[in-house]
Structure 1
Amino acid sequence: MRPRLAALLAVLLLAAGCGTGTRPTTGTPPATGPAPLRTGSPPALAPPAGESPTAVLPATTGQFSATDIAWLQLSVAMAERLLPILDLVPGRTSDPAWRRLATRIETSERTHLTRSRRLLADSGAPVVNPHEGHDMPGMVTDEELTALRSATGRAFHHLIAGHLRAHLTQSVRIATAEQQGGSDPAATALAATVVRAGAADLARLDRLDRPPALPPVPAAR
C-alpha cells in the first residue's frame, strides 16, 4: 500500500459522514437491496466542513497507523449506536426469526466492540469518542430510535431491517478499507472478521426481509 493511499484511507475513514447537514435516511430499506460493495479503493469522501485533511488524522502510535486508529474509533462509535436498537427486538416482536437474527448480530457486534476497544487501548489513542453526537451513515438517530420504540410487528420489522442493512453495509465498507490500508496485523485481522460476519448477516437479512412478490404479468393476447 503506497503511503499516499494509506493516508487518504485514514482521512476517508474519519470523514465518513462526520460533517454537518443531513444524512441518508436509513429507516426504509432500499428497493433493490444494498449497493454493491466495491472491492477496489474505497469511495472518495470529503473531510468534514471546515477541517483540513491533516486535522482529522490521529497520531500514529507504535505499529498502529492512522488508518488503524481511525477505523477502530469509527467501528466503536457505530457499534455503540447499534446495540440499543438490538436491545429493543425481544420487546417489539415475537417473530423467532427476527429474534435469532438480532441475537446473532448483537453477539458479533459485542465481540467486535470488545476487541476494538482493546486494540485502541493497545494503540495508546485517547479514550475519547471523536464521533460522539455525529449522525453518520449506518447510525440510528435519536428520532429514529424513538420511532422504533413505538413500532411493533411488521412495522418494526420494516424499520429495523433498514437500519441493520445500513449499519452492516457501512461496517463492511469501512472494514474493507482497513484491510486494504491498515498496518497493525491484529487490526486488519479484526477487519477481515468484520467483513465476513457482516456479509453473512446481510445475506441472512436479505432472506428474512424479502421484498413482496410482484403479481404475474398477464400473457399478451
Structure 2
Amino acid sequence: MRVHVALLMTAMLVAGCAGGPSNTTDDAAQRALTPSATTPTARAFSPTDIAWLQLTAAMTQRLLPVLDLVPTHTTDPTWQRLAAQVQASTRADLTRSRHLLTEAGAPTTNPHEGHDMPGMITADELAALRSATGKTFQRLLAAHLRAHLAQAVKIAAAEQRAGVHPDTTALAAAVIRAGDGDLARLDQLDRPPTPRAT
C-alpha cells in the first residue's frame, strides 16, 4: 500500500498539483484506497492510474472552452483546422477518461476544481482570450495550447512509467502520440522563440 501511495504522490507532484489545500494529495490518496474502490473490476487500477485519469479530465475540461473560441476569434483556416483536430482528440480522451474512472469506481467529482496547475488555463487567461481577436488571439492561443499539450504529454509519460491498468496506460500512449503530433503542427504555425546563447 505504501508503494501505491508513493506512486500517487509522484504523479501528483509531476503534474504540479500544489495550488490547492495542503491535504489535497492526502485526500486523493485516501479516496483511491478506500474499500469502495476495491471491487474486482477496480482492483486493476492503481492510485496512480486514477490520479492521472482525474488530472487528464480536469485539464481537458479547462482546454475545451478555449478551443470553442477559435471559430469566432480568428478567420485563419490553418488555426481553425488545428483547433478542430485538438478538440476532436481531447474530447475523445475525455470520454475515455470518464469511462475508465467509472469503471474504477472513482469519485465523479473533480478533485482539481479551483486548482491552477501547469497546463491549465486560468479564469483570467480565458477572459483575455475572449476579448482578443486575430493575431493577438492566435498568439495567446499558441502559448496556452503549447503549455497544455506539453504538460499533457509529460504526465501521460509518467502514467506510462508508473501506471498498471492496461487500458489506462494505452490511453496515456494515445495522449502522447496525439500531443506530440499537435505540438509539431503548432510549431509549424507558431514557432517557439529560440533561446539566446549565453
Secondary structure of the 1:62 match is helix
Give the letter aligned to residue 191 of structure 2: R
Residues 19 and 96 (structure 1 numbering): CA distance in 2 closer, same or farther, change over 3 Å? same
Secondary structure of the 1:137 match is coil
Report the TM-score, using the length of structure 2 for normalisation.
0.86
Q: Which structure has the larger Rg over C-alpha atoms? A: 1
- Cα deviation for residue 54 of structure 1 reads 4.5
Residues 136 and 142 (structure 1 numbering): CA distance in 2 closer, same or farther, change over 3 Å? same
Q: What are the residue-to-residue correspondences of 1:78-97 with 2, within 5 Å?
A: 78-97=59-78
Q: Give the percent of matched residue pairs that are identical in Structure 1 and Structure 2.
A: 56
Q: Is the 8 A contact 1:17 1:135 kept in 2?
A: no
- Cα deviation for residue 52 of structure 1 reads 8.5
More helix as a share of residues: 2
Provide the residue aligned with 2:87 in structure 1. Answer: 106
Residues 153 and 53 (structure 1 numbering): CA distance in 2 closer, same or farther, change over 3 Å? closer
Please, which of 104, 125, 135 is the counterpart of residue 144 of structure 1?
Answer: 125
Provide the residue aligned with 1:168 in structure 2. Answer: 149
Give the letter aligned to residue 80 of structure 1: Q
Instruction: State whether structure 2 residue 48 is matched by structure 1 residue 70.
Output: no
Secondary structure of the 2:117 match is coil
Provide the residue aligned with 2:9 in structure 1. Answer: 11
Provide the residue aligned with 1:39 in structure 2. Answer: none
Provide the residue aligned with 1:43 in structure 2. Answer: none
Residues 212 and 196 (structure 1 numbering): CA distance in 2 closer, same or farther, change over 3 Å? closer
- Cα deviation for residue 12 of structure 1 reads 2.8
Rounded to whole Å, the distance in 2 between the matches of 1:52 and 1:148 is: 29
Larger CA deviation: 58-67 vs 112-121? 58-67
Provide the residue aligned with 1:157 in structure 2. Answer: 138
Provide the residue aligned with 2:108 in structure 1. Answer: 127
Unaligned runs of 5+ in 1: 21-47, 214-221
1:180-218 Cα deviation digits (max 9, x unpaired): 1111100000000000000110011011102589xxxxx
Q: Is the 8 A contact 1:137 1:170 kept in 2?
A: yes
Secondary structure of the 1:129 match is coil
Unaligned runs of 5+ in 2: none
Provide the residue aligned with 2:189 in structure 1. Answer: 208
Report the TM-score, using the length of structure 1 for normalisation.
0.77
Rounded to whole Å, the distance in 1 between the matches of 2:118 and 2:159 is: 17
Q: CA RMSD in A?
A: 2.0
Residues 66 and 152 (structure 1 numbering): CA distance in 2 closer, same or farther, change over 3 Å? same
